[in-house]
Structure 1
Amino acid sequence: MLDALHELFWWDRLWLPGDLTWADLEDKEGRVYARASHLYITVPYAFVFLLIRYLFERWIATPFAVSVGIKQTVLQKAEDVPILELYYTTRCRNPAQADIDGLSKKSSLSVRQVERWFRRRRRHDRPGVLKKFREASWRFVFYLCAFGGGVVALYDKEWLHDTKEVWTDFPKQSMLESQYWYYILEMSFYESLLFSVAFDVKRKDFKEQIIHHLATLVLLSFSWCVNYIRVGTLVMLVHDASDVLLESAKLFNYAKWEKTCQTLFVLFAIMFMVTRLIIFPCWLIHCTWVYPILFYPAFFGYYFFNAMLVILLCLHVFWAYLILCMIKKFMFGTLTRDERSDNEEEEGEESSSTEDEGERRHKLVKGPAADGKDDKNGCFGCLSPPENICWSKTVY
């Protein structure tokens, strides 16, 4: 059964055009081809990336963050209340009012104390600026190196300037050593991002990021196996270009260099629109959609590869919309929260950011009972976030 499924999955007619077979992609006549077995090395390399990242964040990113004035924030830990902790970890981090009333009765705490406990517990779990700075530093260094390596590997290749050359002599195109390492390192990095997703800062577009990483890995794996390597390197180069600017803008934002952050964000938005919404669909998808059928009849692998590219394009449109929303609010001076990807608390955490002010207001209104000891019916009024927050302090 497994052998039959294996043969069906690797059936030549699915993945290769015309009368070509996998035997045509075996090393011979001085040509070297990519093999699916080569991709196994990306798994241990992904763990090597995780180790390098740990050392980098600890010994390089952290001291650098401290040198620019970023320090680890020590938050007050919520008291140990097993009933509330069990509810927090197994059911919900932001309970409804009815649940709060029930937890108040079970824990013998006032409603006010239960609300305060959940706010402190959520704040304690929220990643600090130092953690986000370390993550952004790591991604910036990788994307910068990857983009630079991609430019070095492709600047003299004819298919960089004429995308029709991508299909010249396809699929009998010998793999270059630079292409091998470009692919392996990029795939290993994206695998490391998937492995570390449970520990990284969880952002508002978490699901879209997972889809993006998976689609990228599937796309790169498929292009590797069927020797779509030339167009694969172009796709990686186009994506890395804007990521460098995004991560650098985040770094300056965390360091509170607002003017530099704003400038880099504008440059990132321009680069994103040009590379992801113009070059990617008009050059690369056009290259993979139009040119192959000039040489071979359309086949399943042709449609599959283009479907993966279209999925990436849809994600680009989604992110472009959020970026334009941020630019619009920035221009009209109304941007008070991130529209894109770095709002970790998707459940109304703006209340917790003003907890201290709320505590004082509550005490002024409620009097002595506001501490929660005597007032069983005391409640915490929702407070709006400050309206004059600079956009660069809340972006990313």
Structure 2
Amino acid sequence: MAAHVLAHEVADLCLGKPPLKSLSVSATIGEALASLKSCEENCISVWDCDDDDDHFKNVDGNCVCVGKICMVDIICFLCKKENVNSPSLALKSPVTDLLPKDSLLVKHVQPSTSLLEAIDLILQGAQNLVVPIETRFSGSSRRKLLQKSASTKSCTIHNGREFCWLTQEDVIRYFLSSIGFFSPLPTASIDALGIISKEFLSIGYHSSASSATEAISRSLVDQTSVAIVDEDGVLIGEISPFTLACCGETVAAAITTLTAGELLAYIDCGGPPDDIVRVVKERLKERNLEGMLEEFEIDPSDISSNSSLSDEEFPSPTSSRSSFGRYSKSSSYSARMVRRAEAIVCYPGSSLVAVMVQTIAHRVNYVWVIEEDCSVVGIVTFANMLEVFKDQLESMMLGHFD
């Protein structure tokens, strides 16, 4: 059974994946922002093709992908103290300022790379594996296709090749489609499997959202989220990189001025309420952040001296919970924790396969684990799940050889 699962190569999991959207390592953050807005992808790959720099060359001496940029990278960069006064100047900074200095989140692999090798790379910290796209087009047809793609200036084409990337989600989807081979592992609880991470990022409901900027950046690297909890440790909501990425760069103004609880209302998927937008405008003006007002096209003249909301007008942790009640184990896996923020939750006794289905269905890389009183136990991530499958595969292989 292990041989059947491991017979697949990276190329098999990349079938049908679109070519990467690319950006030069010499681009500015403003250019990265424009590229993200012009494409449908959540992130864009950054490539280095400097003939004089061998540090980034792959084994073939070609250009290489040195990282990826998403909207959350830009938002967190704009929220830095040195950038809030002049976001327009910050956007002129090189895109390399957004790339992690201590880790490489992307890794080049060949289409023939084994599934187990790919899992090892992911568990070592790679979020995305860059894979050359294999095609069955003839030489002339392929050249025409590449010329057409190149004319759009959106696809990554180097030395006549296009690239896509493999993510943690792709591997989890594959395991879910082959879940029968791992029986009885899928029915075991996440608690019994020991994959609940007890250490997680969190912030108090009444804390300033700006104090969570570093945690948001960390959650983006770890592909998790930042829990918003009350004084009793009850999960009220979350500041999710996946949600922030849908808000655009202007959410930096909200993070700079609002509390964590207020930010939950602001990042509502239906758009921020007008009253909270007015609060953001007024607070920016009070703090003399005129540059942020102008850059994000927030007209200071729209601000009324009576536009601020009192604390009573924002939903409190208690009122938010009481509006929806406590959650029983028979409730929906997608539990709406507050009126304007949704967190995907499970329980320690939830099965591995149930949690896998949750992550895939909601397109997130993690699930919060809570008790019946909604207090946070921990978090389960794709990486936690992959560790289990890797151990199982290795055990199956040993059993086969024995």
What TM bracket, shorter-length normalisation?
A: under 0.3
Whichever structure has more helix as a proportion of its residues is 1
TM-score by length of 1: 0.27
Higher relative contact order (Cα pairs below 8 Å, separated by 6+ residues): 1
Larger radius of gyration: 1
TM-score by length of 2: 0.27
